[in-house]
Structure 1
């Protein structure tokens, strides 16, 4: 088996299998909690995005006064101000922000799905091109379904995406940790 982490001795990675499983269980539990209350998970994800935008806006504003030339300062300061205002809006009205983010998400899925379908059709002579087309159609349909339910579904869509991501990541970490454990036992490596 190739070393998963370049520069990390395989035996050192194998000795940490329990940490991967523990992290996986924690992520899985968080995903199930988020799945249990999708509206709360949506608000939490909006606050997270708002915090990142607020932090990014502050960085932009600090950067604005580090550059030379009035034109550059104006561009960076306006960019930073817009980020800060968007971040504040996420905290002041998370429901409205979730509606905007859900609309952007649906449009991004629609565009990505149509583009992926187009790319898949262009690859038609190659083996497996249909899988790319199917993937594109499913992505575009997901975007279309979200647009059809907008703005009502904006109360739970982002929470559903967060819950699904946490569940998939948790399951992946558990499988990876147990895979390392099984490989360690099969090789008879005492480092676990």
Structure 2
């Protein structure tokens, strides 16, 4: 089976100091900082995440309704109007009832962490022969999977803070893995 990683030519790690490595490291540091904030203030991060989703859906739905109304001459405008109307309604409900929104988002985040964990572990193991520092991908996957399991076993008593804390830990592990991937591997020729 031909994959992107199997078609890589040359060194298995980009040269140190390259633009891509600096960007990777910068993204990793930013994710680490977000992770520290969310981990230290998990209830604030939980409410913030819920409200961000609520208002994003509300604005997206409102703009979509306006767009659908503007394209009334096209017969498909009704489908868009219904779909964007549902987005607007979900956004407003999440904004007005944040506790229900937190519960729903916590369940979705749990499923996301579990899936991300499994996929990161599999990708890390699969790329072990092609990518240096591949163990950090497995580490990140294990952290994400563990976060999903904590949410699953703590549900529903910990919903008010679990989402923020688990997001923080996920940002921390992902940021750390990106920073470590940006470092040259031992014995790598640069």
By the TM > 0.5 criterion, same fold?
A: yes
Alpha-carbon displacement from aligned partner over 1:123-154 (angstroms, at most 9, x marks no partner): 12233222221221111111121122122222
Cα distance in 2 for residues equivalent to 1:111 and 1:161: 14
- Larger Rg computed on CA atoms: 1
Match of 1:170 in 2: none
Q: Secondary structure at the match of 1:69?
A: coil
Greater helix proportion: 1
Cα pair distance change 1:41/1:139, threshold 3 Å: closer
Counterpart in 2 of 1:100?
104
1:164 Cα offset (Å): 7.5
Aligned match for 1:53, one of 50, 57, 66:
57
Q: What is the count of residue pairs matched by the alignment?
A: 143
Alignment root-mean-square deviation, CA: 3.5
Equivalence for 1:147: 152
The structure 1 residue matched to 2:134, chosen from 129, 133, 140, is: 129
What is the alpha-carbon distance in structure 2 between the residues aligned to residue 156 and residue 101 of structure 1?
12
* 1:66 is the counterpart of 2:37: no
Using structure 1 for the length normalisation, give the TM-score: 0.60
Deviation at 1:86, TM superposition (A): 0.9
What are the ranges of 5 or more consecutive residues in structure 1 without an aligned counterpart?
Answer: 4-26, 168-192
Secondary structure of the corresponding residue to residue 152 of structure 1: coil
Q: 1:45–1:162: 8 Å Cα contact kept in structure 2?
A: no
Q: TM-score scaled by structure 2? A: 0.61
Instruction: Compute the displacement of 1:35 (Å).
Output: 4.3
Question: Is there any run of 5+ residues in structure 2 with no aligned partner, and where?
Answer: 1-16, 20-32, 173-190
